[in-house]
Chain A
């Protein structure tokens, strides 16, 4: 009898827990401010830095795209200037 009751109580407890966690699970509707409605999922960190999910991005790698844009823009500008000055388009800027 006692064991059965404990089992029953346990299963009620678990189902309440499941209901509670789905009620707080990230559904996109609870916003900190307009346009910012992200929440961590139950059991997941609000910040990944320092957690086991830290992406540990290398700042040098992350900066490379910006450098690529700058270099392309400079070469394109040279091409355009050469075109303005000579009326001839030259792709090779070397």
Chain B
């Protein structure tokens, strides 16, 4: 196995460990354990692989020369249908597999993958199903300090013993009677578990909460809208970029009490920099979708955050999409890289947003470094002015009452959605699974009733100008350009994984598991899985052999037509029309497929 650890990243991790040694022992152990486990290619210890979210494996047993021989090694059915998002975890020789609702968990000893070591089936309120906007998905488990952490659709956060599945503590984080659910994977940082929120389509005001990993005690909660004390702003908030706005805007950029049902839920992913001691995530769309019912910039929805994990205090926040008019929920992943920008090694956070812009900030200061269009067909904004941070809007593609807007790109499903992508630190290239969907949009007035849907727009979605629904793109932030692009029939919803074997793996909605040459984008291998994929691949080494694993089971927003048997093209918040062909290629499923090279190759 070749090792390609970059100096800067290695120093960053070591620096983080030294920092945490000075803290209490339990704090140090949770962090150190995760950093150590994540470096060992026998593990895949968090959904994002490690705190950088680069999702790059140093394993190279499977490479461009032999990937054509890749074949199934074993498989496992979760016994559950609906969309299977996220991926399995592998920790100390045990694989942990989660399912869609009712969010069952299975532990599998990799020495005996034919046998279920233990299982956990949460009891939950079935009413949660009726308030889930976009299928009954769950983005996976978290691990820390010997515990496995699960969030359930009805809002429980459950810590169980990773060896036995026995519940250690469980708390409530959402109330379905007011439309709150959980689909996010929890995130373990230091001695805390962080969990977001879902339900902006039901007017849920977004919040993120930290609980003690040890005993489930709530430590802090930060809202996306409202008074500064609720949003948890540091006294130096946005000091380095005052033009982003600083204090009082969580109230001032709304009319009246509209912020109380203002959305901004965060159901995507987190990253963490141990050296800067900041967590990174994005808050979602404002509610309702009808923009005319909520004048104002609607801060701090649609915001990239840098927060202290101990206090929750925000060091900076950059609002990407002020006064959203398209449901470009800003929850997509944040990826941390260190690259030379303008001749200087810079700590970066890169974030391909629903709105079609790939944002890169200096992750220490929050300053904008780059804001490039994923595709030239993005038309709601002409460009993002890097100096002011403002997206210059094209009024022709705005949405408003008494008007049917046409041909807006991207659609509400975004040019990028919840998929977790990857980055090769050797070539410094990002591999992005993207969507190519545009839309027509017409709002309508509606009342707010707690626990009921609060959308207020009718949508039709269809392929973008290139005529297909998805692509994989290799992006270089230093040159603000794509190195290569590959068309896909359907949106690449589940993200990508890159390896030192010069491969990029991803699953497709129509059920293919593919490997591309990461240098050229050339397709080198594919396998037809039982159902479509909306989760991400992982890889790990067991007994000296490299395995690649992926969940299958189509669903999520692109699958709602197929899953709930809907035919009206505007149903499923407009996704049914765009994905009407999908049912000709795949049906529901639910399981895991694990691949390896045959013996002797």
Q: Which residues of chain B are near A45, meaning CB under 8 Å?
A: 295
A41 engages B398 (CB within 8 Å): yes
- Min Cβ gap A84→B in Å is 7
Set B168, B172, B255, B401: member contacting A72, Cβ < 8 A: B172
Q: Which residues of chain B are near A62, meaning CB under 8 Å?
A: 257, 260-261, 448
Residues of A at the B interface (CB closer than 8 Å) are 22, 25-29, 31, 33-38, 40-41, 44-49, 53, 55-59, 61-66, 68-69, 71-73, 75-77, 79-80, 83-84, 89, 91
Interface residues of B in 291-318 (CB under 8 A from A): 292-297, 299
Q: List 15 A-B contacts (CB under 8 A).
A: A26-B398, A29-B392, A34-B244, A34-B246, A38-B295, A41-B398, A47-B295, A53-B293, A55-B445, A55-B448, A57-B257, A62-B448, A65-B261, A76-B218, A89-B167
Q: Which candidate, B85-93, B173-181, B532-540, is the interface stretch facing chain A?
A: B173-181
**Chain A residue at minimum C-beta to C-beta distance from B159:** A89
Q: Which of A65, A76, A80, A84 has the most CB of B within 10 A?
A: A65
A79 to B245, CA, bound (A): 40
Interface 1/0s, chain B 383-398, versus A by CB < 8 A?
A: 0010010111111001
Question: Is B410 an interface residue when CB atoms closer than 8 A count as contact?
Answer: no
Q: Which residues of chain B are near A61, meaning CB under 8 Å?
A: 448-450
- Min Cβ gap B323→A in Å is 5
A91 to B125, CA, bound (A): 14
B447 engages A49 (CB within 8 Å): no
**Chain B residue at minimum C-beta to C-beta distance from A25:** B395
Q: Which residues of chain A are near B449, meaning CB under 8 Å?
A: 61
A68 engages B246 (CB within 8 Å): no
B249 engages A35 (CB within 8 Å): yes
Known: A28-B390, A64-B450, A89-B170. A48 touches B216 (CB 8 A): no
Q: Which residues of chain A are near B36, meaning CB under 8 Å?
A: none
A79 engages B171 (CB within 8 Å): yes
Chain A contact residues: helix, strand, loop or mixed: loop
A75 engages B398 (CB within 8 Å): no
Given contacts A44-B292, A65-B261, 20 further A-B contacts (CB under 8 A): A22-B395, A25-B398, A26-B393, A28-B392, A34-B245, A35-B245, A35-B249, A35-B253, A41-B395, A45-B295, A48-B295, A53-B445, A55-B258, A55-B445, A57-B447, A61-B448, A65-B175, A72-B173, A80-B217, A89-B167
B257 engages A41 (CB within 8 Å): no
Q: Which residues of chain B are near A41, meaning CB under 8 Å?
A: 395, 398, 400
B215 engages A58 (CB within 8 Å): no
- Min Cβ gap A13→B in Å is 21
A38 engages B391 (CB within 8 Å): no
A25 to B451, CA, bound (A): 36
Question: Is B204 an interface residue when CB atoms closer than 8 A count as contact?
Answer: yes
A38 engages B292 (CB within 8 Å): no
Q: Which 9 A-B pairs have the closest CB atoms?
A: A35-B245, A25-B395, A64-B450, A68-B175, A72-B172, A28-B393, A76-B171, A55-B293, A68-B178
A39 to B395, CA, bound (A): 12
A29 to B389, CA, bound (A): 10
Q: Which residues of chain B are near A68, meaning CB under 8 Å?
A: 175, 177-178, 180
A84 engages B215 (CB within 8 Å): yes
Known: A29-B388, A36-B252, A38-B295. A79 touches B175 (CB 8 A): no
A64 to B448, CA, bound (A): 11
Q: Which of A26, A33, A47, A61 has the most CB of B within 10 A?
A: A61
Q: Which residues of chain B are near A59, meaning CB under 8 Å?
A: 257
Set A29, A48, A58, A91: member contacting B447, Cβ < 8 A: A58
Q: Which residues of chain A are near B297, meaning CB under 8 Å?
A: 35-38
**Chain A residue at minimum C-beta to C-beta distance from B171:** A76
Interface 1/0s, chain B 89-128, versus A by CB < 8 A?
A: 0000000000000000000000000000000000000000
- Min Cβ gap A32→B in Å is 9
- Min Cβ gap A48→B in Å is 6
Set B180, B395, B447: member contacting A65, Cβ < 8 A: B180
- Min Cβ gap A35→B in Å is 2
A75 to B390, CA, bound (A): 43
Q: Which residues of chain A are near B400, meaning CB under 8 Å?
A: 41, 44
Set A37, A47, A56, A84: member contacting B322, Cβ < 8 A: A37
- Min Cβ gap B320→A in Å is 11
Q: Which residues of chain A are near B393, meaning CB under 8 Å?
A: 26-28
**Chain A residue at minimum C-beta to C-beta distance from B176:** A68
Question: Is B283 an interface residue when CB atoms closer than 8 A count as contact?
Answer: no
Known: A35-B297, A38-B295, A55-B445. A28 touches B391 (CB 8 A): yes
A38 to B322, CA, bound (A): 8
A46 to B180, CA, bound (A): 31
**Chain B residue at minimum C-beta to C-beta distance from A28:** B393
Question: Is B15 an interface residue when CB atoms closer than 8 A count as contact?
Answer: no
Interface 1/0s, chain B 161-205, versus A by CB < 8 A?
A: 000000111111111011010000000000000000000000011
Q: Which residues of chain A are near B242, meaning CB under 8 Å?
A: 34
**Chain A residue at minimum C-beta to C-beta distance from B260:** A62
Q: Which of B204, B292, B322 has the most CB of A within 10 A?
A: B292
A64 to B202, CA, bound (A): 13
Question: Is B478 an interface residue when CB atoms closer than 8 A count as contact?
Answer: no
Q: Which of A31, A35, A77 has the most CB of B within 10 A?
A: A35
Q: Which residues of chain A are near B168, meaning CB under 8 Å?
A: 89
- Min Cβ gap B375→A in Å is 21
A57 to B290, CA, bound (A): 14
Q: Which residues of chain B are near A89, meaning CB under 8 Å?
A: 167-170, 216
B319 engages A57 (CB within 8 Å): no
**Chain A residue at minimum C-beta to C-beta distance from B174:** A72
Question: Is B544 an interface residue when CB atoms closer than 8 A count as contact?
Answer: no
